[in-house]
Amino acid sequence: MRLFVAVVPPRPVREHLELALGSVRADAGGDQARGPLRWAPAEDRHVTLAFYGEVSAGAGEELEDGLARVAAARRPFELRLRGAGVFDRRVFWIGCGGDTAALGDLTAACVALGADVTGRTDDRVRSRSHLTVARVRAQSRRRRAGPERRGGPRRGAARHDDGPDDVTSLARALAVYEGPTWTVDEITLIRSRPGEGRAGGPAYDPVAGFGLAAADVAG
Catalytic pick among 46, 74, 126, 135: 46
Catalytic pick among 38, 45, 74, 130: 130
Predicted pLDDT of residue 30: 47
Write down the pTM of the prediction: 0.81
The mean pLDDT values, 10 residues at a time, for the chain of 219 residues are: 96 95 68 67 93 95 98 97 87 93 96 94 76 75 46 37 63 92 98 80 92 66
Helix residue ranges per DSSP H, 26-137: 57-72, 100-118
What is the phi/psi pair of residue 150, to 5°?
-65, -30
Closest of 208, 209, 191, 164 to residue 44, by C-alpha: 191
Angle between helices 163-173 and 138-145 (to 10 degrees): 110
Predicted pLDDT of residue 9: 97
- Regarding the domain with residue range 2-149+158-216, which homologous superfamily does it belong to in the CATH classification? Cyclic phosphodiesterase (3.90.1140.10)
Q: Is 130 a catalytic residue?
A: yes
214/202 Cα distance (integer angstroms): 33
Predicted pLDDT of residue 73: 96
Domains in the chain: boundaries: 2-149+158-216
Predicted pLDDT of residue 39: 85
Q: Is 46 a catalytic residue?
A: yes
Predicted pLDDT of residue 60: 96
